[in-house]
Chain A
Amino acid sequence: MNLFWMILKNELRATWRQAFAWLTPFLFFALIIFLFPIALGSNFILLKQITPAIIWIAALLAILLSLNSLFQKEADEGYLENWLLSPHSLTFIISCKLFSHWLIYVFPLILISPLLGFLLHLSAQEEGVLIITLLLGTPVLTLFGAIGSALTIGIRGHGLLLPILIMPLYVPVLIFATGAMTLVNFNQSIASEIAILSALLLVSITFIPWLVGVALRIGVDQ
């Protein structure tokens, strides 16, 4: 547990000292959502229909953007080899790192999403479902992305490779999250969607940090 707090504190402090790194995905998320009403003209009925899709796609892209820097600092400064050699479990270190990454780069998006939803005329009920699906879904996206990030760690100048590798795996989360938002519009039960999202989350939390460890060993090899 000590190790967990240590990693979290270090990450938070490092982020605090260069605030713009933390703000980039956040601003990116807000700007994409802001561009949609402009691109759609004054078609507010259409806008209301596609709001769940807009917010989810924007969150997905913002997460992909933040993933490029997930292990970059560690790889550049040699922490990665330290992790691989350290007596602590690599899976545990990676879990801590991924949790702090999610907390720093993704959690702010969830915090601001009710405000953006309000600007896009979501009802209170939809706002609630939006926050629940984001809380359940974004960790899965971050975890899957971490595999790609670890594998492409030694590859320079191929910034688009990571999204190409990872985006097909994002389909289930996107389907169930936006599905829940559509169902709540028709006042139907969303219990099954939420259950499946939770199942995806639990399975990914259990297995993916270990897989990321395997991927990091391969990535460091390159």
Chain B
Amino acid sequence: MWHWLKQNFLPVKFFYQTSTMLLPWLIFLFVILFSYGMIAGLFFAPADYQQGDGFRIMYVHVPSCFLAMGIYFVMAVSAFLTLVFRIKIAAICMSCSAPIGAWFTFLALVTGSIWGKPMWGTWWIWDARLTSVLILLFLYLGFIALQSVIYSTRARERAGALIALVGAINLPIIHYSVIWWNTLHQGPSISKFATPSIAPAMLYPLLAMIAAFFIFYFIILFIRMQNKILRAI
């Protein structure tokens, strides 16, 4: 079963063909979701009773945060597949994900900072979640720095995989230790799916934006991976 899977679905060629086929559909889906999320979020969603129109930056900030963490998760899974099963495509996925993840982490920090200025009265505060996202950014940058100085492909992939896995295992520990240290951030609004503390008119555009951001990540990831495969051939 495993052997069959490895033979048929994991070769680089299979990925290249499938992703070429998928890309137009992904772009189509992205355009629809993104335009719905943007228009509904910026124009039709009601203004927040406390934060006024300022809350609308949420439609960029929250999806960026989701991606910042989601991409590290993707990297950790591909790192595991690289290190244990030595799957070539997973290693390519891991090293192509890192710069995208770093940019989204940066975007999450910048939009959060712009949101924080009118709401908290300061650009930056040493709050638990801000700090752990900043540490996440440093983990991404460390990974990229390590990748950029090792020249042998095999060693580069395996070293990156190890450091990504160590970072992923440590991330929850770092997160909870930072919460222990200091917290001020408002509670998450949409993780409580049973009783969301957010109105549906605000929620649906947000979910559409999160989906659109994830599809955007996959579009960029596929293009980068295809480029990397072509360069290696």
Which residues of A line the B interface, CB within 8 A?
Answer: 147-148, 151-152, 154-155, 158, 161, 164-165, 167-169, 171-172, 175-176, 179, 196, 200, 211, 214-215, 218-219, 221-222
Contact = CB atoms under 8 A, between A and B. Distances in A.
Contact of B177 (A154, A164, A171, A219): A171
Contacts of A169: 166-167, 170, 174
17 contacts: A147-B166, A148-B163, A161-B145, A165-B142, A165-B146, A165-B163, A171-B174, A171-B178, A175-B180, A179-B180, A200-B173, A218-B155, A221-B154, A221-B155, A222-B150, A222-B151, A222-B159
B155 A222 contact: yes
Contact of B135 (A165, A168, A179, A218): A168
A19 B155 CA distance: 35
Nearest to B170: A169
B145 A222 contact: no
* SS of B interface (majority): helix
B42 interface: no
A2 B181 CA distance: 44
B125 to A, nearest CB: 17
B146 A179 contact: no
Contacts of B174: 168-169, 171-172
A53 to B, nearest CB: 13
A168 B139 contact: yes
A151 B62 CA distance: 35
Interface in B150-180: 150-152, 154-155, 158-159, 162-163, 166-167, 170, 173-174, 177-178, 180
A168 to B, nearest CB: 4
Contact of A172 (B138, B154, B163, B173): B173
A148 to B, nearest CB: 8
Given A168-B142, A171-B135, A171-B178, A218 B158 contact: yes
